[in-house]
Amino acid sequence: MKVSIIGATGYTGEELLRILAAHPAVEIAYITSESQNGENINRVYPHLSHLYDKKLVSMNKLEIIAEESDIVFLGLPHGHAMAAGKRLLAGGTKVIDLGADYRFRDIAVYQKWYKVEHTHVDAPSVYGLPELYRSKVKEAILIGNPGCYTTASILALAPLVKNELIELNSIVIDAKSGVSGAGRGLSLNSHFSETFENVKAYNIGGHRHTPEIEQALSEQAGNEVVVTFTPHLIPMARGILSTCYGTLKAGVDSTDVDQAFAKMYGDEYFIRLLGRGGYPATKNTRGSNFCDIGWHIDSRTGRVISVSAIDNLVKGAAGQAVQNLNIMFGLDERTGLSQAPLYP
């Protein structure tokens, strides 16, 4: 199939190219960049040399890109994907948006948290977390690809809320991300001297991934879920570690928790259950599309602690997007995603 990437020079676009280089059913049609229009991608990212010899073009001819592509990935900042999405869908191609513009069921929630008017309110978007929405992804023409913090946190908590094992008003999420999650743009907060030997929380009570997590968990629970979510920046390039806490309901025991995770994820290739007492680590998922999950029961406090680890650029972004592509076109989900994690 012919695939194009709008906004190919960000970390997510680059990661898509890295993964798709090994995908046997994909040919890259167009890659775009407004800031580096005309530059060869292997000059922008030398590690892609010998894998690609292709020039970046402008996205100003979206109709041509749509006509000559079976699917287009959008790697644009929030607020910019909607206009492109409309034109691409009108041109008959499928779309996977790696930003936030198509992730929300309630447009008002998007506008409140992102401070941007939503201009594609009738978009036929599907939330692209395959382990929870696979049947809808199969039929989709437009995917809102989940964020990295959200993927790790939702997958860690979904079995607990779906099976009514925890109090829905008790959920606390403490998550930590590598610096690549901030994108490739220059920012004081991501400078080496600011991040090296430093760990800090940010956007407490106001991170934009909060309503996305609440949306998915509420759908799983069948009731409104409100969470306390605190993100942290840690001095490494890749990875998300999400530690999630919930108060167990009366009468729930450790066997109930074990069975809930096994029932939901026992047949999921990209979710590796480490079991009760397991300790996921970001190093064990680096460069892969795996999500590792372990959980612990604290009988003293009556809480369950579920821990997940992913690579924020793979399962948290580009890898999940390719997983969605595979489902949409009837391919084995693992196609192009079978690489083992990088270790050490």
CATH of the domain at 263: 3.30.360.10
Cβ of 191: how many Cβ atoms within 10 Å? Answer: 11
Contact between residue 66 and residue 88 where contact means Cβ atoms under 8 Å apart: yes
Asked, for residue 323, whether it belongs to a domain, the answer is no
Pairing of strands 172-177, 240-247: antiparallel
Asked, for residue 322, whether it belongs to a domain, the answer is no
Q: Say if residue 171 is in the same domain as residue 86.
A: no
Asked, for residue 284, whether it belongs to a domain, the answer is yes
Cβ of 174: how many Cβ atoms within 10 Å? Answer: 18
Catalytic site includes residue 291: no
Domain count of the fold of the chain: 2
Select which of 8, 148, 155, 318 is catalytic: 148
For the entire predicted model, the pTM comes to: 0.97
What is the structure's pLDDT at 190? 87
Asked, for residue 320, whether it belongs to a domain, the answer is no
What is the structure's pLDDT at 183? 87
What is the structure's pLDDT at 186? 76
Task: Give the pLDDT of the chain (344 residues) as one tens digit per residue.
Answer: 999 999 999 999 999 999 999 999 999 999 999 999 999 999 999 999 999 999 999 999 899 999 999 999 999 999 999 999 999 999 999 999 999 999 999 999 999 999 999 999 999 999 999 999 999 999 999 999 999 999 999 999 999 999 999 999 999 999 999 999 988 887 888 889 999 999 999 999 999 999 999 999 999 999 999 999 999 999 999 999 999 999 999 999 999 999 999 999 999 999 999 999 999 999 999 999 999 999 999 999 999 999 999 999 999 999 999 999 999 999 999 999 999 999 99
Separation between Cα atoms, residue 194 and residue 263, nearest integer Å: 43
Asked, for residue 138, whether it belongs to a domain, the answer is no
Domain of 189 in residue numbering reads as: 149-312
Q: What is the residue-wise DSSP string for 288-336? A: SS-EEEEEEEETTTTEEEEEEEE-TTIIIIIHHHHHHHHHHTT--TTTT
